[in-house]
A and B are shown apart, each in its own frame.
Chain A
Amino acid sequence: MYVHRDKGFGASLASDAGLAAVADEELMRLIGEADDSAYSELVTRHLNWGLGFAERLTGSRADAEEIMQEAFLRVWTTAFRWRTDGARFTTWFYRVVMNLCIDRKRKKVLEPLATAGDPADPAPGADRNVFEIERDRTVARALTGLPARQRAAIALCYFQGLSNREAAEVLAVSVKAVESLLTRGRKAMYTRLASKKDDILGAL
């Protein structure tokens, strides 16, 4: 279904099934030339990673899935403008996902309460029991209740495993500011979760 265009560098890479070794930034250049194989490779690499980030920022699986669709659509429609001048794809992509999450949460705040729904609604996986689902919701509510930048800092550094420098790039702040956001965010999380500690850890 996804026909690779027979042109130049991208065609030879795809025909050799060598895209797995190609850097994200080069994949973006190929996607700018409408290369389906490069797009598929980039989706394979970053879908789960971005989905985890979006779900932890929004607290909603459904929102996170829609955001990932929109984020990858932006990859496709803007790749032609991509310049390989040292910019990292992951930094740019995390920013795109983060901004989409913040926009969505802002819109939900503006919606009437009757239609806004529960802000924290991680989709239960088939292998989770009712205690685990409730535990996830408790942590998700605490996280989504933080101010956006604190939430993003914790999601990036703690859950996604970015270094403080990488997180600083995504958030467009200094490393010191990232540490400040993390400290305030973790403190607030502890305050919110301390009274439920036994419920959360007891289910383990």
Chain B
Amino acid sequence: MKPRRFRKLLSSYGANPERWPEDERAAAVALLAASSEARALRDRAETLDRMLDTYRVDAADDGLRGQILAAPHNPAVARVEIDQKTGQGGVRWRGIWPQFAALAGACVLGFIIGTTDLAAGGEPDSETDLASLIFGDDDLEGLGQ
């Protein structure tokens, strides 16, 4: 390996041979062993590595993990899924079927109530009929006598 390439490895990947590209590692390690100049360059690169290594990140806590696992069970997420799936071959009903069933049930009930009331009641064609609809036949008994 040429010193120029060795310098490039250090400036790109740092001083630790484990981070050097696998196909060049053996040649770079051999140069390091043979050249004091290469070792001096490595030591300089190591200073930055040591500073970077101080930057630690804590692992995720159980709260975050729980939120991530629970997110797909949010009904709003299911709606996003449906938007994405439409036109892509299939809709995933999970999470939204209870709302869909409630809406469908309300529609059917409304239809039944609407049609049966009109069919049974019909159009009132006289004041008496209208009064009967409002008050009922029992309330009108004796009024005309």
Binding site for B on A (CB under 8 A): 1-2, 34, 36, 39-40, 43, 47-48, 51-52, 55-56, 61, 65, 68-69, 72-73, 76-78, 80-81, 122-123, 125, 132, 135-136, 139-140, 143, 154, 157-159, 161, 163-164, 178-179, 182-183, 186-187, 189-190, 193, 197, 200-201, 203-204
Q: Which 10 A-B pairs have the closest CB atoms?
A: A182-B12, A139-B55, A52-B57, A179-B12, A125-B58, A183-B11, A76-B72, A72-B68, A47-B60, A190-B48
A202 to chain B, nearest CB (A): 11
- CB of A157 within 8 A of CB of B60, answer no
Report B-chain residues with C-beta under 8 Å of the C-beta of A56. Answer: 55, 57
Q: Are B67 and A186 in contact (CB under 8 A)?
A: no
Instruction: Report chain B residues within 8 Å CB of A65.
Output: 60, 64
Taken together as a complex, chains A and B put the C-alpha atoms of A60 and B21 apart, in Å, by 30
Chain B interface extent, by class: 35 or more
Q: Are A123 and B12 in contact (CB under 8 A)?
A: no
Q: Are A186 and B12 in contact (CB under 8 A)?
A: yes
**Do B14 and A43 touch (CB < 8 A)?**
no
**CB closest chain-B residue, reference A199:** B51
CB of B21 within 8 A of CB of A39, answer no
Is the Cβ of A77 less than 8 Å from the Cβ of B65? no
Q: In the complex the two chains form, is B60's CB within 8 Å of A48's CB?
A: yes
A34-B94 contact, Cβ under 8 Å, with A52-B57, A189-B52: yes
Contact B21 A164 (CB under 8 A): yes
B71 touches A76 (CB 8 A): yes
Segment at the A interface, from B32-40, B76-84, B106-114: B76-84
Q: Chain A residues near B68: list those with CB within 8 A.
A: 43, 47, 68-69, 72-73
Contact A201 B48 (CB under 8 A): no
Considering only CB atoms, which chain A residue lies closest to B78 in the complex?
Answer: A77
Task: Judge whether B127 is part of the interface by a CB distance below 8 angstroms.
Answer: no
The proximity string for B residues 44-56 relative to A, scoring 1 for CB distances below 8 Å and 0 otherwise, is 0001101110111
Residue among B12, B60, B71 with most chain A CB within 10 A: B12
B residues lining the A interface (CB < 8 Å): 8, 11-14, 19, 21-22, 47-48, 50-52, 54-60, 64-65, 67-72, 77, 80-81, 84-85, 88, 90, 92, 94
**Which residues does chain A contribute within 8 Å of B51, judged by CB atoms?**
139, 189, 193, 197, 200-201
Residues of chain B lying within 8 A (CB to CB) of residue A154:
52
- Nearest opposing residue in chain A for B44, CB measure: A190
A-B contact pairs, 13 of them (CB 8 A): A68-B64, A72-B71, A123-B58, A132-B54, A164-B12, A164-B21, A178-B12, A182-B12, A186-B11, A190-B47, A200-B54, A201-B50, A201-B51
Q: Are the C-beta atoms of B67 and A69 separated by less than 8 Å?
A: yes
Q: How far is the CA of A201 from the CA of B60 in the complex (A)?
A: 26
- Among A34, A43, A158, A203, point to the contact of B65 (Cβ < 8 A): A43
Known: A47-B64, A51-B60, A80-B92. A143 touches B77 (CB 8 A): no
Contact B77 A73 (CB under 8 A): yes
CB B29 to nearest CB in A, in angstroms, measures 17
Report the nearest A residue to B48, measured CB to CB.
Answer: A190
In the bound complex, do residue B88 and residue A80 qualify as a contact, i.e. CB atoms below 8 Å apart? yes
Contacts of B81 in A (CB 8 A): 76-77, 80
